[in-house]
Amino acid sequence: MYPASFEYVAPATLEEALETLGRYGDDAKVLAGGQSLIPLMKLRFAAPRVLVDINRLPGLDTLVEEDGLRIGALVRHKTCERSEVLGGRWGTLGAAAPLISDPIIRNLGTVAGSLAHADPQGDWGSALLAMDAEVVARGPDGTRTIPLRELFQGPFDTSLEPTEIITEVRVPDPGPVAGGTYLKLERKVGDFATVGVAVHLSMDDGRVGRAGIALTAVGPTNLRATAAEEALAGRELTDDAIGEAARLAAEAAQPHSDTRGSADYKRTVVRVFTERGLRTVREGIR
């Protein structure tokens, strides 16, 4: 199907983009990689009057380790996949990047666009939740930061105003001894997750300082497995501690049965992936 007709604006500055969004409010949509918005428009699930293409805005394509990690709004999945920065302490993100869809989507889709789209099956949502990330949003009243746990309100629903643009994703520094991974079950390469589990650990003197565990495709949003995280904090990464965290992560999942699998099956995958992810991180940190 063809999208409904719309006006296309390609501003040269952020101020111009914000001014256009302010003028049209709910009738306008930001266009980044277009990998979610354009399909929705073609299916007529979305019919914005105006598209504000941010691809020409300067300075938004930087992926840099600086006071933590900063991921500009135009950083593509591909850039993350190829980045040498996203190993080691940022391993959760490095593991997630190549698992997002296929190379064509990864060439164009952006990390920030994925978060703004708030698909509970999105992989970045979990990887970045596990790492306590936040987005920086510019709007008519200035700039604010929104932690991801407050950004995701429900399926495809965020706390962003229609007049706001995410300019950057910020991930706090996880400390010197840290690591993580992302595991995804998909029916075939390029598919959305049946289940995904993001794991991140910051270690402190041989014990877990901070644990981040987040789940994909088993709830109305990407979910934090908070009880599992708390159960690990302050403990050594023994098999018992890992097993308990995996059980608690499975309890936190809210899966539904569908064509990808039964709710029980998905819950079991969460437990197995959490355990596997934590063991992998333990090996990496050693």
Ligand X SMILES: Cc1cc2nc3c(=O)[nH]c(=O)nc-3n(C[C@H](O)[C@H](O)[C@H](O)COP(=O)(O)OP(=O)(O)OC[C@H]3O[C@@H](n4cnc5c(N)ncnc54)[C@H](O)[C@@H]3O)c2cc1C
Applying CB under 6 A, does 218 fall inside the site for ligand X?
no
Q: E-strand spans in 77-194? A: 134-139, 142-147, 152-154, 157-158, 165-171, 178-185
Applying CB under 6 A, does 199 fall inside the site for ligand X?
no
Task: Pick from 90, 152, 192, 273 the residue near ligand X by CB under 6 A.
Answer: 192
For residues 36 and 266, give the distance between their C-alpha atoms in angstroms, rounded to a whole number: 25
Give ∠ CA 260-155-161 in degrees, rounded to 5: 155
Residue 225 near residue 213, CB atoms below 8 Å: yes
Give min distance, CB of 32 to ligand X, in A.
Answer: 3
Give the amino acid at 269: V
Residues of span 47-86 touching ligand X by CB under 6 A: 54, 73
Applying CB under 6 A, does 112 fall inside the site for ligand X?
yes
Give min distance, CB of 276 to ligand X, in A.
Answer: 20
For residues 177 and 39, give the distance between their C-alpha atoms in angstroms, rounded to a whole number: 41
**Which residues touch 274 (CB under 8 Å, ≥6 apart)?**
197, 199, 213, 225, 228, 245, 246, 249, 250
Which residue's CB is nearer to ligand X, number 90 or number 156?
A: 156
Applying CB under 6 A, does 175 fall inside the site for ligand X?
no
- Half-sphere exposure of residue 235: CA atoms within 13 angstroms, side-chain side: 17
- Using the rule CB under 6 A, give the single segment among 1-9, 109-117, 175-183, 274-282 that binds ligand X: 109-117
Give min distance, CB of 275 to ligand X, in A.
Answer: 23
Which residue's CB is nearer to ligand X, number 31 or number 214?
A: 31
Applying CB under 6 A, does 194 fall inside the site for ligand X?
no
Q: How many residues bind ligand X (CB under 6 A)?
A: 29
For residues 107 and 159, give the distance between their C-alpha atoms in angstroms, rounded to a whole number: 27
Radius of gyration (C-alpha) of the chain in whole angstroms: 19
Applying CB under 6 A, does 114 fall inside the site for ligand X?
yes
Applying CB under 6 A, does 198 fall inside the site for ligand X?
no
Give min distance, CB of 244 to ligand X, in A.
Answer: 29
Assign 181 to helix, strand or coil: strand
Q: What are phi and psi of 65, to 5 degrees?
A: -90, 105
Give ∠ CA 123-103-90 in degrees, rounded to 5: 45
166 DSSP β-pair partners: 137
Applying CB under 6 A, does 103 fall inside the site for ligand X?
no
Applying CB under 6 A, does 21 fall inside the site for ligand X?
no
Applying CB under 6 A, does 165 fall inside the site for ligand X?
yes
The H or E element spanning position 280 is helix 263-285
Task: Pick from 37, 198, 201, 269 the residue near ligand X by CB under 6 A.
Answer: 37
Residues of span 134-163 touching ligand X by CB under 6 A: 160
76 DSSP β-pair partners: 110
Taking CB positions, which residue lies at the least distance from ligand X? 109
Give min distance, CB of 223 to ligand X, in A.
Answer: 15
Which residue's CB is nearer to ligand X, number 121 or number 274?
A: 121
Q: Which residues bind ligand X (CB under 6 A)?
A: 29-37, 39, 54, 73, 100-101, 105, 109-110, 112-114, 116-117, 122-124, 160, 165-166, 192
